[in-house]
Amino acid sequence: MNGPVVITQPKTAFQVDRLTIKYDDGQGAVYAPLEDFSIKIREGEVTCLLGPSGCGKTTLLKALGGFVIGESTGGVLFDGQFQQGPTPEIVMIFQENNLFPWLNVRSNVAFGLKFMPREKVRPEALDEMLEAVGLQEAAKRYPHQLSGGMRQRTVIARALITDPRVLLLDEPFSALDVSLRRRMQQLLHDLWEKTGMTMVMVTHSIEEALYVGHRVLVLGGRPAGVVIDADTRDPALKDRYSDAYLQLQRRIESVIY
Ligand SMILES: Nc1ncnc2c1ncn2[C@@H]1O[C@H](COP(=O)(O)OP(=O)(O)OP(=O)(O)O)[C@@H](O)[C@H]1O
Ligand SMILES: [Mg+2]
């Protein structure tokens, strides 16, 4: 006999609750990119954030990561607990590429391990990670001796080696050429398949958002609100030439540009 059908709701990773963030604009006025902003981000999903420049995407991502910025009211719950500050479970890859120039690739990646409890660090983790991102041969090179893609892979490896529960990415591939960008998107996708990690990624590329994301949120307006919230799991949306893809692309473009 069949048992009852159990529909499990995906868990909420982040609950942004009436968040207002105010910045001093440097000229005596206050500017609030986010005002009374609420949203839920589901666990185990890849959520992509799109929106015009300056609308508050990075601000939102930093708030998810617990990085205190500006003056804020409301808050972010992670796992049901109020975010008080950054935690090792959530790793953010910032918009600026920020490797340590005085450390080689291996040491840059190993730097991530400093934040882990010693008993959780496996000695082979470093080599495995360098292998996974294809940087073993370049392990002794310094950042200035790397291509843009290698630098970005080093940044990603440094974030992933800590085995975080959540990965926040702010336009991680924007400086890369198209073919490398596709490879990095694939790497991210493979990583998600292996770990089911919660990821939130800001991107300016609609194509990237639809390819990598399970859900695409388009922010817009002042203060920012969610203008499109689309489930993008449908395989038709992974095909850039399908009608469904083109239709959604047109809808998103009409609010971004
Ligand atoms: N530390 C800060 N102090 C003052 N204003 C800030 C600060 N950080 C961001 N802002 C302002 O807040 C607004 C939102 O910035 P944010 O960086 O979140 O935008 P964004 O959507 O990520 O833009 P982009 O796509 O260009 O990266 C902008 O008007 C920006 O000038
Ligand atoms: Mg930004």
The CATH number of the domain holding residue 24 is 3.40.50.300
Q: Whose CA is nearest to atom 14 of ligand 1?
A: 56
Ligand nearest to the CA of 170: 2
What is the C-alpha radius of gyration for the chain, rounded to an integer number of angstroms? 19
- Let me know whether 145 and 228 are in one domain: no
Q: Whose CA is nearest to atom 7 of ligand 1?
A: 23
pTM: 0.91
pLDDT at position 94: 85
- Measured in angstroms, how far is the CA atom of residue 110 from the centroid of ligand 1? 31
- Let me know whether 24 and 133 are in one domain: no
pLDDT at position 229: 97
- Let me know whether 244 and 171 are in one domain: yes
159 Cβ contact list (under 8 Å, min separation 6):
91, 92, 93, 112, 167
Domain ends where: 109, 144, 163? 163
Q: Which amino acid is at 87?
A: T
Name the stretches of the chain with pLDDT < 50.
Answer: none
The total number of structural domains in the chain stands at 2
pLDDT in tens, 182-240: 888 888 888 899 899 999 999 999 999 999 999 999 999 888 999 999 999 999 999 99
- Let me know whether 227 and 201 are in one domain: yes
Give the residues surrounding ligand 1 with Cβ less than 6 Å away.
23, 25, 31, 33, 51, 53-59, 69
Q: Whose CA is nearest to atom 20 of ligand 1?
A: 54
Mean per-residue pLDDT of the chain: 90
